[in-house]
Amino acid sequence: MSGVTVEAGATCPIELNLNGQTLRVEVRPWTTLLDMLREQLQLTGTKKGCDHGQCGACTLLLDGKRINACLSLAIMHDGAHVTTIEGLAKDDVLHPMQAAFVEHDAFQCGYCTPGQICSAIGLVAEGHARDHHEMREQMSGNLCRCGAYPNILAAIAAGEDETRQLLEAARLDRESSR
Ligand code: FES
Ligand code: FES
């Protein structure tokens, strides 16, 4: 953004694919992706915990990779594909990682859960869900104040295989439509 002057109060248009739908949003240059979702689009599934990149409650998938939405400005993501917890279920069928969290009772208050699930899907996409030690290490950015960690790990292990298959099918789909 160097060399660009934006007047105080001005907004800039960005276009996103959000949970499979293309939309145009006017954002202020300092609006984070998290605030755009929660405050402008009323998509409150992505949670705000610390707002400082420390808790992982705001984790979502940006172009298939997990990021902390509180640390990223919306204006930087013109043209991006954003997937939030609201976009994971298809036709009322839960994503396998969501189903595994339910099956394994992997939450108590549920506040960290959207971030945990998005992070778990990102973890599988990265190929980092091979054993419990690696899962623990790679999920360490997602805090659970209720301490539901053993069940969260069990859920990720259970949902890993089907999630990987789903990611692979989506990849093949994208390639065949090019
Ligand atoms: S709210 Fe983003 S990391 Fe805590
Ligand atoms: S389930 Fe309560 S913070 Fe994780």
pLDDT of 5: 63
Question: Is residue 7 one of the residues assigned to a domain?
Answer: no
Tokens 């190929």 -> residue: 127
Indicate which CATH number applies to the domain containing 107.
1.10.150.120
Q: What is the DSSP string of 66-79?
A: EEEGGGSBGGGGTT
User: Residue 101: CB within 6 Å of ligand 2?
Assistant: no
- 108 and 79, same structural domain? no
Ligand 1 pocket test: pick from 58, 72, 145 the residue with the most ligand atoms within 8 Å of its Cβ: 58
Looking at all shown ligands, the one closest to residue 141's CA atom is 1
Domain that holds residue 157: 96-176
Give me the CATH number covering residue 61.
3.10.20.30
* Cα–ligand 2 centroid distance for 116 (angstroms): 9
Same domain? 16 vs 81: yes
Question: Is the whole-model pTM more than 0.75?
Answer: yes
Q: Exposed e or buried b for every residue in 19-56, given b needs 16+ CB within 10 A?
A: beeeeebebbeebbbbbbbbeeeebebbbbbeeeeebb
Single-letter amino acid code for the residue at 8: A
The closest-lying atom of ligand 2 relative to the alpha carbon of residue 147 is 4
Task: Quick: pLDDT tens for 71-117.
Answer: 999 999 999 999 999 999 999 999 999 999 999 999 999 999 999 99
Query: Where is the domain boundary, 44, 63, 87?
Result: 87
**CA-CA distance, 32 to 58, in Å (whole number)?**
11
Centre of ligand 1 to C-alpha 89, Å, is: 23
Residue 39 in domain: yes
Instruction: Note whether 106 and 172 are same-domain residues.
Output: yes
pLDDT at residue 1, as a whole number: 47
How confident is the model over 10-52, as pLDDT tens digits? Answer: 999 999 999 999 999 999 999 999 999 999 999 999 999 999 9
Work out how many domains the chain is built from and give that number: 2
Task: For residues 73 and 144, state if they share a domain.
Answer: no
Within a domain: 4: no
User: Considering the domain boundaries, does residue 6 fall inside one?
Assistant: no
Of 37, 54, 87, at which residue does a domain stop?
87
